[in-house]
Structure formats: structure tokens, C-alpha cells
């Protein structure tokens, strides 16, 4: 039987694992993009027969790298922020401020994600297609945006929860240690 | 509510969010969302635009070079290109006064011609050149000053990620922006070398005279053979863009493929290192693009409120010399540079400021160079100078020591900024020949 905390931790590490998988997929996208454009260059300049899809697909790959990779980037603390002032605060105030900013961020991200799904739904129901020879149904690449943002929100939620759980663990460990030392003191006396 | 108050309020909210440590992309998005909801009267459910704005901000062909050039730089670091360059140049220049500093500066400049960012250059040279210079008796300040300043060349000398972002924001040709950075980049390199020479004369004990190391010409030439592959990469990437044969995207893909095969040939590549490179590319691309997506929402609101036009109008009404206005902009950029990273600086300012700059009679391609130079200064000014942080990470020096060493280079860069402002032809000559 798992305790409550263990199962929560399991869930959180599962979210993080999936973020990592998305990160790997985005890495694969970057690799693919290099070869797609390389192939297009050869077709264009050597065989004088450029592809009709390379440019468009690489745009979609860029969207994929950006948003599917966003959760992984958050996990590695890769999204830039200004830490000059925050670094000067005491650890306790700093933790509180981080909680406030993270909660604000998650509210924003949830709204953002909802709008992304709305965009996908709109493109799907009004059958929007790209104005190119490829005629891609736009909801497909737009799904990358929506899924990526969903996972970014979940990753941030996991980030907040993990820190709260850990700080609870730390404070309970702290209590145990202080109690033990007090007991030792008493026994020494 | 008058527009002035509205804009001040938006800037204020943005600053509060940024300084309380909200990630830059999210902070921009939040301000954008607030703007959409409160400042667009008569639009039903205005937040619906967010999805479309973010989508069309990233789904743009001119942005596709970003991951490709990042990947190329990462692969070249994996191929130990920095070490090769520094090793060869330090053989040739090692016996000159301050020679290792010059070797560092020049290898930074050459590496900058293959990579779009400054951070990788800074980190690798910090670990390779730093210890050796300290061992040869160079003072800490001159060592780390040179490395941090040399690293900034990465975003001025093409290819350059910040220039790609600028080109997208300003709607000008990225190829022209790239080529415009060549001569200013060389100018910066030369002024850095002159600065080190003057420094060595004024403070002789910061660079001790060491026993010259004898090295046969044959050995020097033999080691120079290793310079051929990087030179070929530069030729393919920049030559293609300059001659108009390849677009920046194609040049990025060719460069990345060259770097990939170079890694394969030198056997630097394993599955582990390949994934490390790819994941690091994802991290950099994602953070830049998320900032762009957030900024696109704010830009929409400011465009809707006609802030750029009103700024232009009020500058016209001031009736002062264009150079005074530009100086004010430079001061703004110097202050911003102390606080935020180059990409955020670009997305926050360029869409608003550029119409005014063009109205004052300056060329948008020239402005690309100047803004990038201002970003370079921002990279080495505390409290937030990314290169300073990176060097602190790879060395034992404190942030203060590194910043002190970088200070003379900041002054040199400001001088360069003045030179480029007075002589725009330095930036515009090459792109006009394209």
C-alpha cells in the first residue's frame, strides 16, 4: 500500500517523466528540421526541383519544439527570469514570493491553454486549411500548441506541489531532529 | 483614463512581475492578457485572440533559423571547435605581449562567425583559456574581462540569434542584418585588441613578460591545418547568405549539417552526446520562443492603442536633433541591459521604438547593428549580465572581479556604439552591396 505522500510523489514524477519525453520529441523535431531543410536545399540547388512541403513543415516543427519543449525547459529551469532582487530576500520570504508568482503564472497558463484549445476547435469545426500547396488542416499543428501548453501548466503545478510537499517533509524532519537533540540533552543531564 | 497613464500602468505591472521573479515570457503574456481584457473596448471575449496571436507569432518561416543556428553552435562546441581555434591562435600569438588575450578575442570572433549565441563561447573559453592565462601570470581581471567581452561578439558577428529576432520584429531581411554585423564585429575585435595592448602598457604587472616559448614554423603551420574545417563552415554559411544563394534558414541547416558531419568524422558523437546537444537546443529555442509568444500579445495591445505612432508624434513635437533622441534610446538600452537578457530587451523595445527611429531618418538595418551592440553591453554589465554569470559558474572568480575586468570593455563598446552612430556607412556598406 502506498501512503498518500508516496502516491502523490509518484504522480508528480510521472508528470515530470512525460515532460522529459516531450523534451526528447522536441529534440527529435530539431534534428528532423535540419535534415528536412538540408534535403530541400539539395533538391532546390542541385536538382532544381524544390519541395513544396519543407518550409511549411519546418514552421510546424518550430511550433512543436517551442511548446512541446516548454514543459521540459521549465523542469530544467530554462525559462529566463530576473533573480537579482529575489536573491536578496530571506529564504522564507523568497519561498512565499515564489509561490505567489507561480500561482499567478499557472492562472495565466490555464487561461492561455483554454484559448489554445479554443483555437484548435475553431480551426477544426470551420475546416481551416493552410493557404499553401500542402493544404494542411490547421488544427493538426495547432494541437502541438495546445498539448504543449497543457503540459507546461501541469509541469508548473507539479513544480509547486513538489516544493510544498518537500518543505512539509523538511519541516517535519527538522522537528524530529530537534526533538532528538533535546532528548539527548536531557539524557546527558 | 488617458493613454499615458494606461501605458505607464502597463510598464509598471510588467516591471513588478519581472522583478518578483516571474519568468519573462509569462510576465509579458500576463500583461498582454490584462491589456486584452481591459483595454480593448467593444470586443467580445477579447482573450480569445491569445491563441491565434501566439500561434501566428511562432508559426513564421523567418524564425526557423533560430533552432538550426543554435543546433549548429552546440554541435561545433561538441566538435571542440573552440579548443582548436584557441590552441592554434595561442601558438601564433603566444609570445606577443598580451598574446593569450588576443588569441582569446580572435578565437571568440571566429567562433562567433559560426555560432549565434555568446554563452557557449564564453563557457568553453572560460574553461579552456581561463586556467591557462592565469597559469601564465595574467591577472584575474584581464583574463575574465577578455573572455566575457569576447563572448559578446557572438551576437554581433553573424549568424546571430538576436539579429534573427530583430529581423522578425522589424520586418526586414535577416540576411541583410547578418551581413551588416560583419564590419562592426571586426571593428569591435580590433578595438578589444587595442584595449588589451593599452592595458598591458599601463598596468605592466597585469600581464607579466614570460619566457618566449620556441616553436618551429613547421609545427605552427601543421597545427593551423586544423583551422580549415571551421573556415569552410564559415565560408558555406556566410558566403551563401552574402551571395544571396541561400536563405538564412537554408544556411542554418547547411551549417548544422556540416557541424554534424564534422562531429561524426572526429568521432565526438555518441547517442548520449547527440541527445544532450538536441535537448540543450530545445531548452534555448523554447525559452526564446515562449518570450516571443508572450510578447506578441503585448505588442498587439500596444499596436491597438497606437503607442508607436504616438511616440513618433511626440518625438516630432519635441523638435530636437535626432542624435539626442538616439542618445536617450541608448541610455534606455544601457539601463535595460543591466536588468534583462538580449532577447527580452529586443521584444520589449523594438516594435515600439523602431517607427520613431525610422522617422528620424535612420536605416532599420543600421538599427539592427546598434541594438545588438547595446545588447552586447547588457551581457557584461551587472547586476544581470549573462556572460558574467556563466564565467562565475566555470571559474573561481567572484562576480565582482569579473565585472571589474569587463568594465574597460564596456567603455570600449560604448565608444564603438558612438562610432557606428556617427558613421552608419560602416554597418550599411556591405548589405548595400548585396
Average pLDDT, chain A: 85
Task: Give the nearest chain B residue to A27 (CA atoms).
Answer: B278
- Contact between chains at A80 and B287 (C-beta distance less than 8 A): yes
Residues of B in contact with A86 (CB under 8 A): 19-21
Nearest Cα of chain B lies from the Cα of A101 at a distance, in angstroms, of 6
Predicted local distance difference test score (pLDDT) of residue B269: 87
Query: What are the mean pLDDT values of chain B's consecutive 10-residue runs (434 residues total)?
Result: 83 91 92 89 79 90 93 90 87 83 91 83 85 87 91 89 93 92 94 92 79 75 83 88 89 92 89 93 93 92 87 86 91 90 90 92 94 92 86 85 92 94 92 86
Is the distance from CB of B292 to CB of B338 less than 8 angstroms? no
Which of 25-64 (B) contact A at CB < 8 A?
25-26, 29-30, 33, 47-52, 54-55, 58-61, 63-64
Nearest Cα of chain B lies from the Cα of A182 at a distance, in angstroms, of 39
> Among A23, A36, A38, whose Cβ lies nearest the Cβ of B279?
A23
Nearest Cα of chain A lies from the Cα of B164 at a distance, in angstroms, of 14
Nearest Cα of chain B lies from the Cα of A3 at a distance, in angstroms, of 34
> Among B52, B67, B257, whose Cβ lies nearest the Cβ of A119?
B52
pLDDT digits over A55-107, tens only? 899 999 999 999 999 999 999 988 888 887 888 888 888 888 989 999 999 99
Task: Give the nearest chain B residue to A113 (CA atoms).
Answer: B51
> Among B30, B48, B384, whose Cβ lies nearest the Cβ of A104?
B30
- Contact between chains at B344 and A80 (C-beta distance less than 8 A): yes
Residues of B in contact with A117 (CB under 8 A): 51
Nearest Cα of chain B lies from the Cα of A189 at a distance, in angstroms, of 46
Mean per-residue pLDDT for A43-50?
Answer: 87
Nearest Cα of chain A lies from the Cα of B246 at a distance, in angstroms, of 8
Q: What is the 3-state secondary structure (H, E, C) of chain B?
A: CCHHHHHHHHHHHHHHHHHCCCCHHHHHHHHHHHHHHHHCCCCCCHHHHHHHHHHHHHCCHHHCHHHHHHHHHHHHHHCCHHHHHHHHHHHHHCCCCCHHHHHHHHHHHHHHCCCCCCHHHHHHHHHHHHHHHHHCCCCHHHHHHHHHHHHHHHHCCCCCHHHHHHHHHHCCCHHHHHHHCHHHHHHHHHHHHHHHHHHHHHCHHHCCCCCCCCCCHHHHHHHHHHHHHHHHHHHHHHHHHHCCCCCHHHHHHHHHHHHHHHHHHCCCCCHHHHHHHHHHHHHHHHHHHHHHHHHHHHHHHHHHCCHHHHHHHHHHHHCCCHHHHHHHHHHHHHHHHHHCCHHHHHHHHHHHHHHHHHHCCCCHHHHHHHHHHHHHHHHCCCCCCHHHHHHHHHCCCCHHHHHHHHHHHHHHHHHHHHHHHHCCHHHHHHHHHC
- Contact between chains at A145 and B282 (C-beta distance less than 8 A): no
Q: Does B261 touch chain A (CB under 8 A)?
A: no
Residues of A in contact with B287 (CB under 8 A): 73, 78-80
- Contact between chains at A55 and B282 (C-beta distance less than 8 A): no
Using pLDDT thresholds of 50, 70 and 90, give the confidence band for residue A169. low
pLDDT digits over A135-155, tens only? 888 888 899 999 999 999 999
Three-state DSSP at A90 gives: coil
Partner residues linked to A129 by β-bridges: A137
Is the distance from CB of B211 to CB of B233 less than 8 angstroms? no
- Contact between chains at A104 and B17 (C-beta distance less than 8 A): yes
Nearest Cα of chain A lies from the Cα of B267 at a distance, in angstroms, of 18
Predicted local distance difference test score (pLDDT) of residue A189: 46
Residues of A in contact with B52 (CB under 8 A): 119
Residues of A in contact with B246 (CB under 8 A): 41
Could you give the angle at the alpha carbon of A66 between the alpha carbons of A102 and B287, nearest 5°? 50
- Contact between chains at A41 and B253 (C-beta distance less than 8 A): yes
Q: How far apart are CA B392 and CA B383, in angstroms?
A: 13
Length of chain B, in residues = 434
Q: Is residue A181 predicted with pLDDT exceeding 60?
A: no
- Contact between chains at B287 and A73 (C-beta distance less than 8 A): yes
- Contact between chains at B260 and A23 (C-beta distance less than 8 A): no
Single pTM value for the model: 0.90
Predicted local distance difference test score (pLDDT) of residue A168: 67
- Contact between chains at A60 and B61 (C-beta distance less than 8 A): no
Predicted local distance difference test score (pLDDT) of residue A81: 84
Task: Give the nearest chain A residue to B290 (CA atoms).
Answer: A66
pLDDT digits over B321-359, tens only? 889 999 999 999 999 888 888 888 999 899 999 999 999
- Contact between chains at A34 and B253 (C-beta distance less than 8 A): yes
Residues of B in contact with A118 (CB under 8 A): 48, 51
Residues of A in contact with B286 (CB under 8 A): 26, 65-67, 69-70, 72-73, 78-79
Residues of B in contact with A59 (CB under 8 A): 59-61, 63-64
Supply the ipTM of this predicted assembly.
0.90
Length of chain A, in residues = 189
- Contact between chains at B71 and A30 (C-beta distance less than 8 A): yes
> Among A41, A58, A73, whose Cβ lies nearest the Cβ of B254?
A41
Amino acid at each position: 500500500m502506498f501512503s498518500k505522500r508516496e502516491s502523490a510523489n509518484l504522480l508528480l514524477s510521472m508528470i515530470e517523466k512525460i515532460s522529459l519525453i516531450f523534451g526528447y520529441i522536441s529534440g527529435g523535431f530539431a534534428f528532423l528540421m535540419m535534415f528536412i531543410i538540408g534535403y530541400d536545399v539539395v533538391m532546390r540547388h542541385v536538382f532544381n526541383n524544390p519541395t513544396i512541403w519543407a518550409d511549411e513543415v519546418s514552421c510546424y516543427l518550430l511550433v512543436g519544439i517551442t511548446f512541446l519543449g516548454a514543459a521540459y525547459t521549465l523542469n530544467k529551469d530554462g525559462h529566463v527570469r530576473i533573480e537579482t532582487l529575489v536573491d536578496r530576500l530571506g529564504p522564507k520570504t523568497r519561498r512565499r514570493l515564489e509561490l505567489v508568482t507561480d500561482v499567478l503564472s499557472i492562472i495565466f497558463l490555464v487561461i492561455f491553454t483554454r484559448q489554445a484549445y479554443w483555437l484548435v476547435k475553431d480551426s477544426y469545426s470551420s475546416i481551416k486549411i493552410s493557404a499553401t500547396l500542402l493544404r494542411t488542416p490547421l488544427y493538426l499543428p495547432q494541437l502541438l500548441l495546445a498539448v504543449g501548453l497543457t503540459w507546461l501548466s501541469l509541469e508548473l503545478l507539479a513544480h509547486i506541489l513538489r516544493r510544498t510537499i518537500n518543505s512539509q517533509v523538511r519541516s517535519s524532519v527538522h522537528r524530529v531532529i530537534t526533538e532528538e537533540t533535546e532528548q539527548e540533552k536531557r539524557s546527558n543531564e | 483614463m488617458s493613454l499615458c497613464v494606461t501605458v505607464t500602468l502597463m510598464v509598471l505591472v510588467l516591471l513588478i512581475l519581472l522583478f518578483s521573479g516571474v519568468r519573462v515570457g509569462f510576465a509579458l503574456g500576463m500583461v498582454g492578457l490584462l491589456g486584452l481584457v481591459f483595454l480593448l473596448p467593444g470586443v467580445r471575449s477579447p482573450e480569445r485572440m491569445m491563441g491565434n496571436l501566439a500561434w501566428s507569432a511562432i508559426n513564421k518561416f523567418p524564425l526557423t533559423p533560430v533552432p538550426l543556428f543554435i543546433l549548429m553552435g552546440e554541435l561545433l562546441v561538441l566538435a571542440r571547435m573552440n579548443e582548436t581555434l584557441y590552441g592554434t591562435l595561442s601558438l601564433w600569438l603566444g609570445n606577443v605581449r598580451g598574446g593569450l588575450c588576443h588569441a582569446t578575442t580572435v578565437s571568440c570572433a571566429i567562433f562567433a562567425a559560426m555560432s549565434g549565441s555568446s554563452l557557449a563561447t564564453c563557457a568553453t573559453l572560460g574553461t579552456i583559456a581561463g586556467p591557462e592565462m592565469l597559469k601564465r601570470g595574467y591577472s584575474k581581471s584581464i583574463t575574465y574581462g577578455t573572455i566575457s567581452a569576447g563572448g559578446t561578439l557572438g551576437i554581433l558577428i553573424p549568424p546571430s540569434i538576436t539579429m534573427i529576432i530583430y529581423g522578425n520584429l522589424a520586418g526586414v531581411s535577416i540576411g541583410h542584418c547578418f551581413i551588416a554585423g560583419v564590419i562592426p564585429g571586426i571593428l569591435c575585435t580590433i578595438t578589444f585588441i587595442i584595449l588589451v595592448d593599452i592595458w598591458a602598457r599601463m598596468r605592466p604587472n597585469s600581464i607579466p613578460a614570460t619566457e618566449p616559448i620556441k616553436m618551429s614554423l613547421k609545427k605552427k603551420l601543421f597545427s593551423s591545418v586544423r583551422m580549415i574545417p571551421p573556415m569552410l563552415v564559415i565560408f558555406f554559411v556566410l558566403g551563401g547568405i552574402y551571395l544571396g544563394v541561400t536563405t538564412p534558414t537554408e544556411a542554418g541547416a547547411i551549417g548544422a549539417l556540416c557541424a554534424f558531419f564534422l562531429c561524426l568524422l572526429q568521432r565526438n558523437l555518441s547517442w548520449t552526446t547527440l541527445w544532450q546537444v538536441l535537448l540543450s537546443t530545445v531548452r534555448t529555442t523554447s525559452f526564446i520562443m515562449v518570450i516571443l509568444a508572450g510578447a506578441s500579445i503585448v505588442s498587439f495591445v500596444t499596436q491597438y492603442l497606437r503607442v508607436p505612432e504616438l511616440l513618433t508624434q511626440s518625438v516630432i513635437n519635441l523638435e530636437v536633433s535626432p542624435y539626442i533622441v538616439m542618445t536617450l534610446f541608448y541610455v534606455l538600452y544601457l539601463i535595460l541591459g543591466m536588468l534583462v537578457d538580449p532577447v527580452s530587451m529586443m521584444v520589449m523595445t523594438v516594435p515600439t521604438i523602431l517607427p520613431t527611429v525610422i522617422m528620424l531618418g535612420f536605416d532599420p538595418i543600421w538599427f539592427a547593428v546598434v541594438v545588438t551592440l547595446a545588447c552586447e553591453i547588457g551581457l557584461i554589465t551587472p547586476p544581470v549580465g549573462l556572460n558574467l554569470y556563466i564565467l562565475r559558474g566555470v571559474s573561481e572568480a567572484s562576480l565582482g572581479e569579473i565585472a571589474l575586468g569587463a568594465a574597460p570593455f564596456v567603455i570600449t563598446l560604448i565608444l564603438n556604439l558612438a562610432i557606428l552612430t556617427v558613421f552608419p556607412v560602416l554597418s550599411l556598406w556591405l548589405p548595400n552591396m548585396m
